[in-house]
Structures are given as structure tokens and as C-alpha cells.
């Protein structure tokens, strides 16, 4: 299975967020064996560089995964042929391995430098991507996430998390006043109703406000009852995190609202760029019918693209419906098609003027 050696090696090094070092070190050794100049930066990202030209194509993948070890194995599927199972096969070691193999196959291109990065902490607070913002200014950006080999993703929603809390005096259960837990249930339905009103006539999921109640916890002491909710929001382009937090603060009274983590605005890439056109041609040359998608999740694209302001898109083989599931796998044909498309797109972009 030499054609998928990169993918297989990455999957064999289990690397949930916070435990990426072993996989990073393996990837650095592997990229070096393929002719890349390699380094590990201050955040722990794996960086491989091929070429030394003044123009840069940065291919940003991530090497961390969600938790949940899936035994690495090949299986024969009646519909898909040989498939490879393993945590990260789709999200997102498949796209990252595709980047490495495609750039290695492309080789040196006069006037160009291809930079492949396996970023850490993408499934966390994106510490790896944040460390790259001030260091690079690429001419083109390709972010690695699974969207199938014949599709190009141009937009990812923003995200914002918050904790909501309420404490009240402990009273006899026969008292008519609602408990904090009961008020929390009412609050959740109030927020759902607001989201439904906001989303009215917004047909595309990319344009909608999507809410998730991640956890709800109650506590009781001798004198108080309290409840805490952890709320996630996927935000459209016209609802930046600051505006959402301001509205949320109004909606949750009498609850207290505390923002969590790093809020991230939504981002949409330009469609009519040399980068997009190169991928459209490459997909057709590989026998596919190209399509565009906008995603309801958030990726490192949202962080780096606003700073670099260069043509960008998201590409990668793999079925996004398998992200974070216990059934995560990738068909080898899907993977190899992705490599072929990426090679074709990079050849077109780096062709001599």
C-alpha cells in the first residue's frame, strides 16, 4: 500500500487534541524522507516546505483528531472497494496526507514554494493556526477538510460558546415559584424560538443561526439551587460573535451569560479566482463533476483567511458525514482521486508565466 503510506502512517499515530506530538514527529520524519525541509514551530505544528521561490502556496491541514481510538484496518466494501478505517481518516488526516503526497508528487516548481502544515489543536482552540497568522503571507491558501474529492468548500460558519448560569434560594418543593432547572428548560425553548424566527426565509443552512445545548448541570446546597448551561452557536456571515453575545445577554435575563473560548466569525471565500478555476479544471480532468459547498461547521480557514486576504478554498477527500463518528474511514479510490486533483490544481497554479 505504498500509495497510501502517508495516510496509513498518520492513522497509526493516534493524536487526539493535546496528544499530537508523536504524530507530529512521525510526519516530520516522513516529509523529510520525501524531500521536504521540515521544522516544528513554537506551537508544535509540523511544517514541510518544498521549493524556495518568492511565491507561496500554503496547504493548511490539521493533525489532531477528536478522541476515540478506531483500530486501523483495511476492509473491502461492496460499493466503495477497499476502505481504510482509523480515527482521522476523514477529519482530517485524509486531507493532510493528500497534501503531503500531492506536493511530493508535484516536486519543485520554479518560482514557487509549497508549504504543508499539520496544525495542532484545530479541534480545540486552534492554537496551531493562531501561531501561523503573523508568520506567513501566502499567495494562495488551501485548507484541508473532508468534503469529497470532487467538491470545493467556499464557506464555513462562525462559532461562539457561552455559559449561562442562575442561582436562587432553596425553597420547599410545594412552593409555586419555578426552580432554576425549570427556568433553564424554559430558557432553552425561548432561545430555540428566537433562532427559528431569525432563520425564517433563510433557506440555506449556511445563512442560519444554529444552536446547540451541549450540557446542563444542576447543583443544590442547603440554601441555594443553581443551574448551568453550556450553549454553542453556529453563526452566519451577518451575525458576528459580538452581535450574538449582545443579543444573547438580552435573551437570557435573569441568567448570567459568560462567553467561553475564542469566538470565531463566519467566512466565505471568493468564487472567481485562479485558485478555484484551477481546482475546477483538475476535478474535471480527473473525471469528476465539480460542485461547491458551504459548511455548517467552523475550521481554521475562519482564523487565517481574514488576515492573509489571499485566494482561498477548502479541499480534501473523505466523507464529512463520518467526521467524529465511530465509523470513520476513507475509500482508497476517494483518497487517490483527491491526490490527483490536487496535483493537477497545483500544476496549473504554478505553471510558468
Cα dihedral sign, 215-216-220-224 = positive
**Residues 6+ positions from 207 with CB-CB distance below 8 Å:** 199, 236, 237, 238
| C-alpha span between 61 and 315 (Å, rounded) | 10
| C-alpha span between 351 and 250 (Å, rounded) | 55
Catalytic residue among 64, 101, 300, 328: 64
Q: Does 64 participate in catalysis according to the annotation?
A: yes
295 with 125: CB under 8 angstroms? no
Query: In sequence order, what DSSP letters do the residues of 295-317 get, joined into one string?
Result: ESS--THHHHHHHH-S-EEEE--
300 with 269: CB under 8 angstroms? no
**Residues 6+ positions from 254 with CB-CB distance below 8 Å:** 166, 183
DSSP letter, residue 19: -
CA distances to 70, 123, 124, 194, 244 from 324, rounded to whole Å, are: 11, 10, 13, 29, 27
| C-alpha span between 250 and 289 (Å, rounded) | 47
Count CB neighbours of 28 within 10 A.
18
Q: Does 41 participate in catalysis according to the annotation?
A: no
Catalytic residue among 122, 207, 328, 334: 122
The CA-based angle 280-285-290, given to 5 degrees, is: 35
Count CB neighbours of 167 within 10 A.
15
158: helix, strand or coil:
strand
CA contacts within 13 A on the Cβ side of 171: 11
| C-alpha span between 143 and 99 (Å, rounded) | 10
Hey, which residues are catalytic here?
64, 122
Amino acid at each position: 500500500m505504498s500509495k497510501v503510506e502517508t495516510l496509513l502512517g498518520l492513522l497509526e499515530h493516534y493524536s487526539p487534541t493535546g496528544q499530537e506530538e508523536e504524530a507530529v514527529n512521525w510526519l516530520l520524519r516522513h516529509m523529510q524522507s520525501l524531500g521536504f525541509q521540515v521544522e516544528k514551530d513554537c506551537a508544535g505544528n509540523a511544517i514541510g516546505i518544498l521549493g524556495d521561490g518568492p511565491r507561496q502556496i500554503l496547504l493548511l491541514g490539521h493533525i489532531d483528531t477528536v478522541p476515540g481510538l478506531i483500530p486501523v484496518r483495511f476492509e473491502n466494501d461492496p460499493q466503495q472497494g477497499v476502505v481504510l478505517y482509523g480515527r482521522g481518516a476523514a477529519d482530517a488526516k485524509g486531507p493532510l496526507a493528500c497534501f503531503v503526497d500531492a506536493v511530493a508528487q508535484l516536486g519543485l516548481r520554479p518560482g514557487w514554494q509549497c508549504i504543508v502544515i499539520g496544525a495542532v489543536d484545530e479541534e480545540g482552540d486552534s492554537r496551531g493556526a493562531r501561531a501561523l497568522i503573523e508568520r506567513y503571507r501566502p499567495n494562495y491558501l488551501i485548507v484541508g477538510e473532508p468534503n469529497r474529492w470532487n467538491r470545493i468548500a467556499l464557506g464555513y460558519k462562525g462559532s461562539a460558546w457561552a455559559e449561562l448560569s442562575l442561582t436562587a434560594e432553596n425553597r420547599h418543593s410545594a412552593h409555586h415559584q419555578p426552580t432554576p432547572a425549570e427556568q433553564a428548560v424554559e430558557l432553552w425553548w425561548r432561545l430555540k424560538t428566537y433562532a427559528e424566527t431569525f432563520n425564517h426565509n433563510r433557506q440555506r443552512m449556511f445563512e442560519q443561526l444554529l444552536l446547540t445545548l451541549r450540557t446542563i448541570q444542576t447543583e443544590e446546597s442547603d440554601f441555594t439551587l443553581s443551574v448551568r448551561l453550556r450553549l454553542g452557536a453556529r453563526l452566519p456571515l451577518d451575525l458576528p460573535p459580538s452581535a450574538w453575545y449582545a443579543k444573547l445577554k438580552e435573551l437570557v435575563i435573569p441568567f448570567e451569560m459568560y462567553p467561553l473560548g475564542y469566538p470565531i466569525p463566519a467566512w466565505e471565500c471568493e468564487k472567481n479566482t485562479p485558485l478555484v478555476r484551477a481546482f475546477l479544471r483538475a476535478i474535471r480532468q480527473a473525471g469528476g463533476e465539480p460542485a461547491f459547498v458551504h459548511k455548517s461547521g467552523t475550521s481554521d480557514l475562519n482564523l487565517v483567511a481574514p488576515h492573509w486576504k489571499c485566494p482561498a478554498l477548502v479541499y480534501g477527500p473523505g466523507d464529512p458525514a463520518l467526521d467524529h463518528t465511530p465509523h470513520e474511514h476513507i475509500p482508497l479510490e476517494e483518497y487517490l482521486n483527491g491526490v490527483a486533483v490536487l496535483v493537477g490544481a497545483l500544476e496549473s497554479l504554478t505553471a510558468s508565466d
